[in-house]
Structure 1
Amino acid sequence: MVDDGGVDRFARWMAPSRWGLRIRSAIAAALMVGLVLGVAAAVMAWLLHRSLVGDLDTAAATRVGEVSAELMRMPVGELPDALFDTDGRVAGVQVIDPHGRVVRASSGKLATPLTELPVADTRAAGLRAARRYDEDLRVAAGTVSIGAGTYTVLVAADTESVERTVAVLAVLLAVGGPVVVAAAAAATYLLVGRSLRSVDEIRARVAGIESTDLSRRVPVPVARDEIAQLAETMNDMLARVEAGHLAQKRFVGDASHELRSPLATVTAALELARDRPEVLDRELITVTLLPEAGRMLHLIEDLLTLAAADEHGLELRTSDVDLDDLAAELSATLRLRGTLTVSTRIHAVRVVGDRARLQRALRNIVDNAAAHARSRIAICTEERDGRAVVVVDDDGPGIPAADRDRVFGRFVRLDADRARCTGGSGLGLAIVAEIVAAHGGSVTVSESVWGGARFVVDLPRGGIDEPIPDSA
């Protein structure tokens, strides 16, 4: 009874898709080498056969020339016997008179012409032998015109030795070819295995890396080949994963720290109101509970915005947005506070974007400038080289050059004491960077003309600019 399960397993194992890379490479190398050897062997045998047959034809034609030369000097009966000797190449010699009779031959068996007689004044080689003679014979012929008439000289060459030589070569190639193919397959199998050893080491190292220790790296082979490039790429990826993991840990830690403070304040106030109801008055609610609750709500909104940006990018509801209107509204709001001098240089600039998110980005930049300015702020909108540009200057302490890229990171405060009187949660500028990037723009920080910070938002724009008078 046939075991169908065993047959199925054997069939699955024999499927090329289940073979390893080493086996597939060895088989491919064997097939390629076998094909090349087969073609080379066929070409070699053909060239050898052609060369040996050509040598026979040359030897026969040479003997024809020698007999013809002597025949012009002496009668047929006086021709030297050496001209009719046979060897490994010349198998027979005939001299035929003008009447078609064999008058001299190297053997008594050559009683009839070796081949069809050529016309007068003709020399030929490689002619087919007559039917009564061996098919392996090749005949060279030549005619000689003397006083008695036109004689024909025929010389036969035997190709049997050629066939034997070619056959020996074929046997040698048939025996040696599989050995060469097997050697090529084995060498390929071993070399691919040696190359894959580095890949296996990389795989084993990656399999042993856990989320608790992302500092490990895979070994890089000494040879500067594709495996080394793979290892370097893997190490670069591990470095990015480690950096992202550390950033996530810092993000979670900072978020927990930021949420703990307002929650602790609200909890303490509520516990106080529970134990002493008489202290729960408008002042406690207005001064303590509502500000801390609002701060916590704002922080949660910022965290949700950044989480959405990390997961699938910010979702934008695009429309025509006048950046000059947004800048004018923010300037008016700052003037109402009455604590800073606000100067503006606003030109009409329209972009295609999400109005709410662009408004938030500009508000975060302006609020940051207001928090650090000593006495004045300048807001400018303009068009440069077909792009919309918003510039916000302040006369505060500025941002050191070493921190101008880091300031757009999350939970980054440049204040050593992390005081919250001048800074928020440290997410405002990070949100600005995400919003501007989502609109295909960039935000940079440099030094203002007053020595403070200058924030420049550069966005792709659309629409028509209409100048608005400067105000101060």
Structure 2
Amino acid sequence: MSNPDRVHPRLSTRLRGLRGRVMVAFIASASMVTLVLIASVYAISADYMQSQRERTVDRAVGVHAELLRWRLDDRHITGEQALAGLNLSTGTIAMLRWESRWSIVDADGGLPVVPPPVFDADQSDQGDSAAIRVTINGQPYLRASAPVDGSGDAVLYEFAPLLELESTLRMLRTILIACTVVALGIGAALGGWAAHHALSPLRQVARTASRIASGEQELRLAPSDDQDLSTTVESFNAMVDSLQHRIERERRLVSDLSHELRTPLTTLTTAATVLAKHRDELSERPRTALKLLLEETTYLRGLLDDMLALARVEAGIHRSDLAPLSVSELLNQIMSVHAIAPDVLRTHDPGLVRGRRLELERAIVNVLVNADRHGGGVTCVMVEREGADIVITIDDAGPGIPAADRERIFGRFVTASRSTAGTGIGLALVAETVTGHHGQIRCDENPGGGARFVMTLPAHEHVRHEIAK
């Protein structure tokens, strides 16, 4: 069962996005247009049906008044008898005021009781008022009147029921509300369709940028015939071309630096090594200077190697290609080469990652070396699968790292002290390598004491799925 606390924020985030805003705009536009049209249709229809009903009642009461005029010429007929001869519509009530008497009859044959508010004092004597809406026994009626004779002594009142008209208007309201719901649904569907197609070029740009970032630097967006998109496509391709040229320049710079720096450093190291072979021929002060020279050249060589490796990673220069790798096999090989006890490794065959073997091997070795130099040695290396990720956990036996420094240690030239022979580049190189493999690395507190480095890499099939999208 889904968790609503997770679904609602996700839905809220989608609605706040560009696609959500386009859909909301379509729905709002459809709502406004639909409401205006429906309100207009209902108002016009209701007014038309009301006016038609009023004209029908006015014509009917006029015709009945003419018929009564001929019948009332017979002095032997009563008002009820005269009204009974009228052909009244179903539910209609007829009332005749003649010779100061009221006669009442309805089409259903009953004699309804008409409340006094049905008549106004100033209109009951006129007999020519326009049709108005009244209520009799809680039911709506339309009252119309007409004089039976010219003297005004006889006036006919008819009450036409409005139940059918009210029922028709209710049905019309129901139909219009249903049309509103359908229109909103169509607006939402059109909004989703329009948003999907409007954002399709952006998704294509995102996929292309992701593939370029993963190493396909020759990839470009296809030219577009759409004038609104052609500028974006051209700008994107120009930007990628500029970045590629810059990367090529950085590659050449790294290559030149590697050659220019390694040659004098190799010469210096060779000279120091030759001098070291004649250490016994030197006095104490030159021997001390020679010792410092050997230490500094060793440190400088390690620093140069780490800096060049970091520069190659940042410039996108790789010594191996992306390929599916078994993390368990890679760790077994590393631990065997570096003489780490096999029982330290705990693996559950988590699967494969898509990476560069040499770079991942160097990153893991740097963490292991860091644990050996600063953390009292490696106590546990664990590999496990967590959803779409493969997690490598390395624990050491050292004093641990303060919470304030757990992010800082992945910066450049951050080291405990010069006495540890570290260059301060190792963990920065690890962070760059893991990030280049779409992963993450963090430093936590080891529950058993010491520091814990957690390296998270996406599984091989997850990487393929993301690239396919």
TM-score over 0.5 for the alignment? no
- Comparing both structures, which one devotes a greater share of its residues to helix? 2
TM score, norm. by length of structure 1: 0.42
TM-score (norm 2): 0.42
Larger Rg: 1
